[in-house]
Chain A
């Protein structure tokens, strides 16, 4: 579904992505981890064209992301994305956040959009908060709304950029639960996260990045066994000891 070949990106002379190649098949859950500044977020933002890249190619269902002729808005509407800081739109209510893309991009009627929105809010356990504003919800609730907003577009894949990093510890699980459920339903997912429990539980593959390079790209069994590289071992030993 997602094919990435030799993707490189520079900010000025600083290389943030260095010849990254990987792929994500339909229904696969891929976790991307690695130290801060290793290019994880940049990598997944390249997939839906939020970040441009200078070299290499990315195709999503055989549509080239880097091609200037590609209608990026249309492509993005088919890939859900969840951000570290939720990024709900603060000036409209929760239900309107979920309806906006359905109405303005997919052309659904207000009734259809609201019905679908309420279904999804029910699913993430927030139907009673539909008419509140994002600023009136907790971080965990906001992130669940953000997931519902992504799902409302009926995406064929979901990208998660550190979805739990900005949350208080007690709110992390309510978000992870929703993500685990999605993964088990067969959603194609690419998840940047440090939640190794989530990776062990539902990931099919784990990608480990360091200094803009993909250092490991293997099944989770291989990744969590002793066969992984030195840099990944060091990283895991640091984050798993606490």
Chain B
């Protein structure tokens, strides 16, 4: 293979700046999308565990729609189709009126998609709690909302820390799809460096290492959180 290795390109202006800015946008997309995913996903997941049949079907419908359409297709639907379905003035506002339309479209797309997955984790966490716990909470007179607030959610969120960590890592990595609608995040910047310098190996190696570093930091932090949140006296297989 005839390839001129040049690792120096990574620290040369403007490429170094591109990588840093790309990483910044990747983190920004992932963090904003996670806020939507966590909040909306929790609400949808809780709705699926209530006794209200309407809430349950809305929750089930949401999950089935958003997790069964490929993420890339959802990205295009949000970016190209959604604004056209709105009244014209709104559509124009979504396309050009808001600052950074590509960024916010990517955030909404990733957030709503991941919310469907978070919802299923939250539902599983709540359903893993025995009926007796819910009955005991109701028996002391807690209203349904209080039963969730003080008993079901604090316990279930602890249970689902490991899969929720996976979901966050998922949203972080899936943010690379935002390049397809023009967000200059890490993967997009990496491709741009390749196109300008033909040093694709170096650029993609750098991107890979950055992705792995961030996921490693998140994993380590979540392992600490899991330990801190562990309930004293609760013996489970994971408590070793």
Shortest CB-to-CB span from A84 to chain B, Å, is 8
Q: Beta-carbon contacts of B145-187 to A below 8 Å, as 1s and 0s?
A: 0100011001100100000000000000000000000000000
Is the CB–CB distance between A90 and B140 below 8 Å? no
Residues of B within 8 A of A80 (CB): 139
Is the CB–CB distance between A50 and B138 below 8 Å? yes
Residues of A within 8 A of B139 (CB): 48, 50, 76, 79-81, 83, 150
Is the CB–CB distance between B233 and A100 below 8 Å? no
Q: Number of contacting residues on B, CB 8 A?
A: 23
Is the CB–CB distance between B233 and A89 below 8 Å? no
Our pick among B133, B141, B150, B155 for the contact of A73 (Cβ within 8 Å) is B141
Residues of A within 8 A of B151 (CB): 89
Report the bound CA distance from A133 to B231 in whole Å: 8
B137 at the interface (CB under 8 A from A): yes
Q: A90-B231, A133-B231 are in contact. Are A81 and B142 (CB under 8 A)?
A: no
Report the bound CA distance from A149 to B232 in whole Å: 20
Shortest CB-to-CB span from A134 to chain B, Å, is 7
Residues of A within 8 A of B155 (CB): 89-91
Residues of A within 8 A of B150 (CB): 89, 100, 104
A105 at the interface (CB under 8 A from B): yes
Is the CB–CB distance between B235 and A135 below 8 Å? yes
Report the bound CA distance from A106 to B154 in whole Å: 22
Report the bound CA distance from A79 to B232 in whole Å: 30
Residue in B closest to A50 when the chains form the complex, CB atoms: B135
Report the bound CA distance from A203 to B143 in whole Å: 33
Question: Residues on A close to B: CB < 8 A?
Answer: 45, 48, 50, 72-74, 76-81, 83-85, 87-91, 100-101, 104-106, 132-137, 146, 149-150, 153
CB-defined A-B contacts under 8 Å, sample of 27: A50-B138, A50-B139, A73-B138, A73-B141, A76-B141, A77-B140, A83-B132, A84-B132, A87-B132, A89-B136, A90-B231, A90-B233, A90-B234, A91-B231, A101-B141, A104-B150, A105-B141, A105-B142, A132-B232, A132-B233, A133-B231, A133-B233, A134-B233, A135-B231, A135-B232, A149-B140, A153-B141
Question: Residues on B close to A: CB < 8 A?
Answer: 130, 132-133, 135-143, 146, 150-151, 154-155, 158, 231-235
